[in-house]
Amino acid sequence: MTGIIGFETLDIIGAAFFAASWIGYHFAVEMGPHAGKSLNMRMNLRRARWIRESMARDNRIVDTQIMNGLQNGTAFFASTSLIAIGGTLTLLQSTDRVVALFSDIPFGTAPTRAAWEMKVIGLALIFGYAFFKFAWSYRLFNYCVILLGSLPPAKNHEPADAERAVHEATEMNVAGGRHFNRGQRAFFFALAYMGWFLGPTTFILFTGAVLVAMYRRQFASDAARVFRYPDPTRQPPES
């Protein structure tokens, strides 16, 4: 059954599955009962440990170099998002040729002009969301650099003031990492969304594959198994 703008019932099911997958993954990684075991959350503990250990260093050049690396990576993805938005919107200028091309592909579904343009706009919105996340993450990491610079010296500091400064820098760093992760998540789901251009069935399959791959990386990958001890202050038992 085809709707007014050319979407079939399976298209609506695919779009609903895509949205549910994104929201469900967000809940599982950031708020669910097993979120504390995710790779992102375990890395947040290491962020806290890093900031706390920087208090013991009078020379914090190494800390600023780490922050430069985080900022450079975030800036790269932010600029890439803008390029992706521009490239996606240029597809609107080739709607007629694309519709004719898909009509000749045996495994694809020939879209209507309105359906194609709606899909392209949706993809551009995903990349736009990613850009805002990366741009805000870059700004938060910039704030974190300032907070690192405001940490009291390793000696001759009030414990209460030092604890508050460490907490502020840690929370700012964690917030920057959280928004960076959400931007990358949008990139991954954009890959799944591209399957929609080949048809609703491909859309559903791509979404499922991306969801499984992302979930596995957070909870069952080699990187996740590195952190056998969720508390970074806990020492492993002697063998």
- How much is the pLDDT for 107? 56
Average pLDDT over residues 133-139: 96
CA separation for the pair 227, 213 (Å, rounded): 19
More confident residue, 20 or 197: 20
- How much is the pLDDT for 158? 79
Average pLDDT, the chain: 85
Average pLDDT over residues 191-201: 90
Burial of 235 (0-12, 13-18, 19+ CB in 10 A): exposed
Average pLDDT over residues 208-228: 88
Burial of 56 (0-12, 13-18, 19+ CB in 10 A): exposed
Q: Which residues of 198-208 are buried (b: 16+ CB within 10 A; e: fewer)?
A: bbbbbbbebbe
- How much is the pLDDT for 9? 86
CA separation for the pair 201, 189 (Å, rounded): 16
CA separation for the pair 235, 232 (Å, rounded): 8
Asked if residue 193 lies in contact with residue 130, where contact means CB atoms within 8 angstroms, the answer is no
Asked if residue 142 lies in contact with residue 71, where contact means CB atoms within 8 angstroms, the answer is yes
Percentage, residues of the chain above pLDDT 90: 51
CA separation for the pair 23, 25 (Å, rounded): 5
pTM: 0.86
Average pLDDT over residues 46-59: 87
Average pLDDT over residues 182-196: 95
Average pLDDT over residues 178-202: 93
**pLDDT tier, 21 (very low <50, low <70, confident <90, very high otherwise):** very high
Average pLDDT over residues 106-122: 76
- 111 pLDDT exceeds 70? no
CB atoms within 10 A of CB 132: 15
CA separation for the pair 119, 196 (Å, rounded): 8
- How much is the pLDDT for 105? 63
More confident residue, 239 or 84: 84
**pLDDT tier, 1 (very low <50, low <70, confident <90, very high otherwise):** very low
Q: Which of 108, 110, 112, 122 is nearest to 6 (CA)?
A: 112
Give the contacts of 79 (CB within 8 A, at least 6 positions apart).
none
